[in-house]
Amino acid sequence: MRSSMRSSLALSPALVLLAALAASPPLQAQESTTRGFNVGAHISGQSLTPQDGDRSNTGGLGIILGYGFNRNFELFLQFDGGQFDVANAAVEGDWTMVHGDLGVRYHFANSLRTWVPYVQAAFTGRDVSVTNGRVHQDTQSEDITLSGTAITLGGGILFYFNETLAADLQLALSGGRFTDIKVGTVTSNNADLDAQSTRFNVGVSWWP
């Protein structure tokens, strides 16, 4: 009798634990991640408005490399390129422009959601190659290069197909100046040409 009672008492904690586990709700699987390395690629709708010039629109391509230190903060490097037909500006012609962004992104992360919005800010370098360009509507055409810096603000949203693969919709607004110009073989570091650019990117991001 005593042996049977001892066995029953020994089994009681185990039975209570099993009952608690059976009554508890199942653990939810993680739906999204923003930690660690990620790589992405996108197509881009871009807009450029140079100083005193008309707005020009184009399509382009881009890539992004990032590292999420935790669920919220990520350091990223992004490159986008496009070609614009610029008219009525200080420098006219076919502008092939590359944005290079070094920035920080903040994810409003929740690993149990399949969507994650974010905001970001970046220091941006912009380089331009102008084919058959004209300065101040000069009739002579030459190859021209421009470079300068900008500040970029933006945001977007990630829609996850699974925990590590997401569609990425992003809007980035850049404002700054081109300070270096080379016309033919003549280089000047005293250029002062304002330009605003906008990028709407649609692509995918992957956390390997």
pTM (two decimals) = 0.82
Q: Tell me phi and psi for residue 20, to 5 degrees.
A: -65, -40
Tokens, residue 78: 């992004």
Angle ∠(104,64,95) on CA atoms, nearest 5 = 105
Average pLDDT over residues 143-164: 96
pLDDT of 3 > 60? The answer is: no
Q: Which residue has the tokens 């900008």?
A: 150
**Residue 10's pLDDT band (cuts 50, 70, 90):** very low
- Parallel, antiparallel, or unpaired: how do β-strands 193-206 and 186-188 relate? unpaired
Total domains present in the chain: 1
Q: What is the pLDDT of residue 52?
A: 82
Average pLDDT over residues 135-146: 78
Nearest to 175 by CA among 198, 200, 204: 198
Average pLDDT over residues 146-171: 97
- Range of lowest pLDDT (4-13, 32-41, 98-107): 4-13
DSSP state of 110: -
pLDDT of 21 > 50? The answer is: no
Q: 73 lies in which domain range?
A: 2-206
Q: What is the pLDDT of residue 47?
A: 96
Nearest to 207 by CA among 54, 108, 98, 66: 66
CATH of the domain at 59: 2.40.160.20
Tokens, residue 193: 């040409």
Q: What is the pLDDT of residue 53?
A: 83
End-to-end C-alpha distance for the chain, whole angstroms: 61
Which H or E run contains 96? strand 91-107
Q: What is the pLDDT of residue 9?
A: 45
